[in-house]
Amino acid sequence: MIYIDERKKAFFLEGENFTYAIDVSDGYLRHAYWGKKIERDDIDQLLFDHPAGYVVAIEASASGRGSLETLPQEISFFGLGDYRTSCFKATGEDGGKVFDLKYDSFELLTEKPSYSDLPMLKGGETLVVRLLDAAKRLELKLYYTVYEECGCLTRHAEITPLGGTVFLERALGFCVDLPDCGYDCITLYGKHSCEAQIDRQALGHGEFSVSSCMGISSHVHNPFMALAEKHATENAGDVYGFGLVYSGNFFLSAQTGEFGTIRVCGGINPLDFRYRLREKESFVTPEVLMTYSECGLGGMSRNFHRAIDRYILKRGVPPIVANSWEATFFDFDTKKLFGFIDGLKELNIDTFVLDDGWFGRRDSDRTSLGDWKVNTKKLVGGLEPVINKCKENGLKFGIWIEPEMISEESELYTLHPDWAVKSKFLKPRTSRNQLVLDLTRKEVLDYLKSTFYALLKNHDISYVKWDMNRPLTEFYSAGLEKENQGEFAHRYVKAVYELADYLTRSFPDIYFEGCAGGGGRFDIAMLKYFSSVWASDSCDAEERCRIQYGYSYLYPLKTVSSHVGASPAHQTSRSIPLESRCNVSAFGAFGYELRLDVLPQEEREFIADYNLFAKQLRSVLAEGELFRTENPFESKFTGFIVMNRQKTKGYGLFYQSKTSYGDGIKMIRLRGLDPKKKYSVPKFGVCAYGSTLMNMGIQHKTTNTDYQSVLYEINEAEND
């Protein structure tokens, strides 16, 4: 709901449990309030010009003491006396960098605008606030869309020069100035095979930021940030969450100001960003998904999950897959794949996925990226015999691709060496023995569209794993003019969106999964095209507990691709029981990365039964709500519960890491139940009211063995 008081120039954006209020002060757009739902009062009487020394006054200030340095703002500009982080900076034709953008007007749209080259959440009623430069040289529109039932809103901006060409040098699409209440800042950091690690630290003086300059959102920092009250927990306390809908170079900042405010802003990383805009040519920023929760971090996550599920994700249930990569790597032929596929029969698996190595002369990672023709020496008769073998065993067929990459040892590079991203003067730097294709060039993008359209059109493929195994370097395109080179990184990611949009629209029945060496490009924007993302190249269940827990702060677990790996794990050499590996992976998009055909019969029978159970859990995970019960970053336990929205059925995981002598008894307190309903939990042999199970909990005797777990079912029982 959006309510507008035109006389007072005040705007109330309201969800079921929150209010976001803005108004106009001295001609500038002021952030008035964001938090628990309030009445539509005269908010101006509660706010005033903050008297302060050594600040630059706003000329039109009613008191003569108002300053942009003390004004809580919705968007900030360079060079006007606000010395906190600026959202926008541009240089005009005369070299001037100062634009004084003030409130001009508003518009209320019945439908949120969509853009062909930038993914955004679908939406309805949208507030557009127009700001105009005093000399009418620049226009800035701020877009606000409310998702009432999700507790969320989105924001993005559109900037248009009205009086000649400008060069845009900063484009952070949102800014929120909150009162400093001693918040902790929470972010997700990591590295390859160790993504989404939770960092929580008190905000001190100065600026704290996370960013990427790799051309992708990166393993190092996820485009997510939250501010939490000092004592906010999983289930209580005020939390503000921010998730950028962007897959490229990003920047998120929380800055403690000198006058009792915290500024959160974010968008495209300003590093090496310079975008030329000719007169009346518009630039649209990536949007941010924002939420407020008074129910702690758990409430924040459920708000995010509802919004992403309903307004970003495509519908569809993730299949249980068996992927060939860790089972065979590059060492396979038709005969070996036939044996692997025959070994999947009667295991209740949905899809076999043929990973890297099926094309060109691809027997190692040194060659053939770009040559997307089947290696018929390795796969006699091409893909069709493999696809037919899958059908004989009741399976669908999936395939791995890496569209954005090129090998120097390839036919494509021999024909088009200029298609690679590289400097004119330096030897290009490889990673995993590969270079990046310059997708900003139309001929490259057209080649990829036609190549992969033909592959998917000519074969019965139901699943695609889209990989991207290196970051960008050299950030230069032979297809761009000198004045446009600072646009390369942003143009690249928009080209990725264009290619992904083209293929997913052309083949709506194919399940697409994203990957970038694991979670190197796991963000909300990619979920517009990919139903899940391969979260990490680590299949070690111990590591996966933390990785999946971290990702769940922002992303629904059904989007977190999680497969059962071998034991010992390839990445850590850690040995973990099969049941625990399955239990952890089942709380995600489930599958396998090991030689299932050579497992002992006892383990194969266990897997066959487990997959039937996993399909039941999958249906609840697809539409249910997540509750985290044990934090692996704070203890040796991990706990998840997912309940359907009717609160009649759910599943829970309790995982124990390292054991210690005399650990004894652990009380497992359930979450997400109706306190007045009775529930049975057969695994523990109990039947009790929700209030009892959530407060008293279930007594569980921990084991004296490492890496043990229990996955339990929760069912509504007959109530007295």
The 3-state secondary structure of 159-224 reads: EEECCCCEEEEEECCEEEEEECCCCEEEEEEEECCEEEEEEEEECCCEEEEEECCCCCCCCCECCE
The reported pLDDT for the residue numbered 665 is: 86
In the three-class reduction of DSSP (H, G, I as helix; E, B as strand; rest coil), residue 138 is classed as strand
Q: Is residue 239 part of a domain?
A: yes
pLDDT tens by residue, 545-577: 999 999 999 999 999 999 999 999 999 999 999
pLDDT of residue 26: 86
Q: Are residues 300 and 358 in the same domain?
A: no
Average pLDDT (33-61) is 78
- Domain with 420 in it: 321-624
pLDDT surpassing 80 at residue 50 = no
Asked whether residue 554 is domain-assigned, the answer is: yes
Q: Choose, from 467, 523, 540, 597, the residue flagged as catalytic.
A: 467
Q: Are residues 140 and 242 in the same domain?
A: yes
Give the pLDDT confidence of 297-321 residue by residue, as tens digits.
999 999 999 999 999 998 788 999 9
- 365 and 267 in a common domain: no
315-365 tens-digit pLDDT: 788 999 999 998 999 999 999 999 999 999 999 999 999 999 999 999 999
State which amino acid sits at residue 375: N
**CA angle in degrees (0–180, nearest 5) for 589-592-593:** 120
- Asked if residue 137 lies in contact with residue 100, where contact means CB atoms within 8 angstroms, the answer is no
Q: What is the pLDDT of residue 158?
A: 98
Domain co-membership, 172 together with 49: yes
Same domain, 90 and 12: yes
Mean pLDDT check: name the lowest of 75-84, 145-154, 217-226, 639-648.
75-84
Contacts 24+ apart (CB under 8 A), 47-54: 47/72, 50/259, 52/259
Q: What is the per-residue pLDDT for 62?
A: 53
Mean pLDDT rounded to a whole number for the chain: 95
> For residue range 575-613, what is the model confidence (pLDDT) as tens digits?
999 999 999 999 999 999 999 999 999 999 999 999 999
Same-domain status, 368 and 283: no
User: Does 160 fall in a domain?
Assistant: yes
Does 298 share its domain with 390? no
Contact 646, 623 (CB under 8 A): no
Q: Does any domain span residue 468?
A: yes
Q: At what angle do helices 578-586 and 541-551 cross, to 10 degrees?
A: 10
**CB of 445 closer than 8 Å to CB of 484:** no
User: 3-class SS at 391?
Assistant: helix
Considering only CA atoms, which of 329, 467, 346, 464 is closest in space to residue 397? 464
pLDDT digits (tens, 9 = 90+) for 464-493: 999 999 999 999 999 999 999 999 999 999
Residue 105 forms part of a structural domain = yes
Burial of 525 (0-12, 13-18, 19+ CB in 10 A): buried
Residue 691 covered by a domain: yes
pLDDT at 97: 84
Q: Give the whole-number percent of the chain exceeding pLDDT 90.
A: 88
pLDDT of residue 575: 97
Query: Domain check: are 536 and 426 in the same one?
Result: yes
Active site residue 537: yes
Cα–Cα distances in Å, from 187 out to 285, 315, 344, 353, 602? 22, 29, 40, 33, 42
pTM above the 0.75 mark? yes
CATH number at residue 678: 2.60.40.1180
624, 658, 692 - which closes a domain: 624
What is the tally of structural domains in the chain? 3
In a domain, 316, yes or no: no
Shared domain check, 236 and 109: yes
| Structure confidence at residue 662 as a pLDDT band (50, 70, 90) | low
Determine which one of 26, 100, 356, 537 is catalytic. Answer: 537
Q: Report the pLDDT value the prediction gives residue 68, as an integer from 0 to 100.
A: 83
Per 3-state DSSP, the chain is made up of helix, strand and coil in percentages (nearest 5) of 20, 35, 45
| Chain Cα centroid distance, residue 170 | 23
Asked, for residue 536, whether it belongs to a domain, the answer is yes
Per-residue pLDDT at 645: 95
Cα dist from 392 to 43, 257, 341, 395, 399, whole Å = 69, 66, 9, 7, 18
- Cα-based angle 635, 523, 406 (whole degrees, multiple of 5): 120
Place of tokens 């939490």: 228
Q: Are 348 and 430 part of one and the same domain? A: yes
Same domain, 369 and 261: no
Domain boundary pick from 583, 607, 624: 624
Q: What is the pLDDT, as a whole number, of residue 574?
A: 97
Domain C-terminal end among 572, 591, 624: 624
d(CA 233, CA 355): 41
Reported as a pLDDT band with limits 50, 70 and 90, residue 60 is low
Asked whether residue 121 falls in the same domain as residue 89, the answer is yes
Residues belonging to the chain: 720
* DSSP-assigned letters across all residues of 285-343: PPPEEEEEESBHHHHHHHHHHHHHHHHTPPP-PPPPEEESHHHHTT---HHHHHHHHHT
